[in-house]
């Protein structure tokens, strides 16, 4: 008997647990992702999915990791500064381990990757739904479908955008986010990760780019007929959701700049 595991968008309703394993759809990049994750584990880093194989039915089989995975509307515990700091530390440890793994010959999904590339394999989609926690501590990153070479601060900015969150009030509330000091939470991410002045400038610049280009990936998936993305776009208010965020960022950016200075 397989138990459906809820959460996510791209594979919503298609990820299941069967005993000690997770079964999920494979894709064109699964072989590269599996090779990377297996090599990553050999570095001593245990905070990521451990793949077993790609089955004959085309599904990936990975080791199930016990813990909690927040999904919208996010529980209060998942929105704490302690959890934000814990995920940031996990990302930092992941980046250090990833920097030692050579996967230059593999193929990757570049839909959400750093356009300039980079020296490490980044996750590129660290949202709360892709983090497993125990007792309020982040212990593992999951769902590496969008992993690709990039710069660490690009990966960190993508995480901050989704988990600080760097978003307007209406969209934040729709996902269940409570009112918070978002500029202070961005500073917390930068402090815990240990960004220097250059890194903080890059973090803000990557957020500029992500917000300016926001919605293109979702719109592309929706236009291709992906029903999960069509539904998500409708529930979030269509493309106006991204226009609203752009307007909010223009008005709010100085607060975040000051917090990082």
**pLDDT at position 121, please?**
96
| Residues 83 and 77 sit within 8 Å (Cβ to Cβ) | yes
Strands 16-18 and 3-4: antiparallel
CA contacts within 13 A on the Cβ side of 22? 19
Tell me 116's DSSP state.
T
Angle made by CA atoms 241, 244, 250, in degrees to the nearest 5: 145
Q: What is the pLDDT of residue 195?
A: 98
- Alpha carbon 15 to chain centroid, angstroms: 17
Please give the CATH number for the structural domain made up of 76-260: 3.90.1200
Q: Cis bond leading into 73, ω under 30°?
A: yes
- The pLDDT confidence band at residue 193, using thresholds 50, 70 and 90, is very high
Q: What is the 3-state secondary structure (H, E, C) of 188-208?
A: HHHHHHCCCHHHHHHHHHHHH
Query: In the predicted model, is pLDDT for residue 35 greater than 80?
Result: yes
pTM (predicted TM-score): 0.94
pLDDT tens string 55-81: 999 999 999 999 999 999 999 999 999
Q: Which pLDDT band, with edges at 50, 70 and 90, does 106 fall under?
A: confident
Rounded CA-CA distance 257/202 in Å is: 11
What pLDDT does residue 99 have?
96
Characterize the bridge pairing of strands 120-122 and 59-63.
unpaired
**Residue 230 banded pLDDT, cuts 50, 70, 90:** confident
Secondary structure E strands in 42-127: 51-54, 59-63, 120-122
What residues does each domain of the chain span?
3-63, 76-260
| Average pLDDT in the chain | 93
């Amino acid at each position: 008997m397989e138990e459906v595991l809820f959460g996510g968008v791209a594979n919503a309703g298609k990820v299941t647990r069967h005993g000690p394993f997770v079964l999920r759809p494979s894709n064109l990049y699964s072989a590269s992702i599996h090779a990377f994750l297996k090599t990553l584990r050999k570095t001593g880093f245990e905070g990521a999915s451990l793949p077993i194989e790609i089955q004959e039915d085309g599904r990936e089989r990975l080791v199930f990791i016990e813990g909690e995975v927040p999904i919208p509307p996010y529980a209060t515990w998942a929105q704490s500064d302690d959890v934000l700091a814990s995920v940031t530390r996990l990302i930092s440890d992941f980046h250090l381990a990833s920097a030692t793994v050579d996967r230059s010959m593999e193929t990757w999904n570049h839909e959400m990757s750093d356009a300039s590339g980079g020296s490490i394999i980044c996750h590129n989609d660290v949202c709360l739904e892709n983090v497993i926690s125990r007792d309020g501590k982040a212990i593992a990153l999951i769902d590496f479908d969008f992993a690709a070479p990039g710069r660490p601060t690009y990966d960190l900015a993508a995480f901050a955008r989704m988990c600080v969150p760097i978003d307007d009030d209406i969209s934040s509330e729709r996902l269940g986010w409570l009112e918070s000091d978002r500029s202070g939470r961005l500073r917390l991410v930068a402090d815990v990760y240990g960004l220097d002045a250059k890194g903080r400038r890059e973090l803000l610049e990557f957020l500029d780019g992500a917000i300016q280009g926001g919605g293109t990936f979702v719109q592309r998936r929706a236009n291709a007929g992906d029903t999960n993305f069509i539904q998500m776009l409708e529930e979030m208010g269509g493309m106006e959701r991204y226009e609203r965020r752009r307007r909010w960022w223009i008005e709010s950016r100085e607060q975040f700049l000051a917090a990082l200075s």
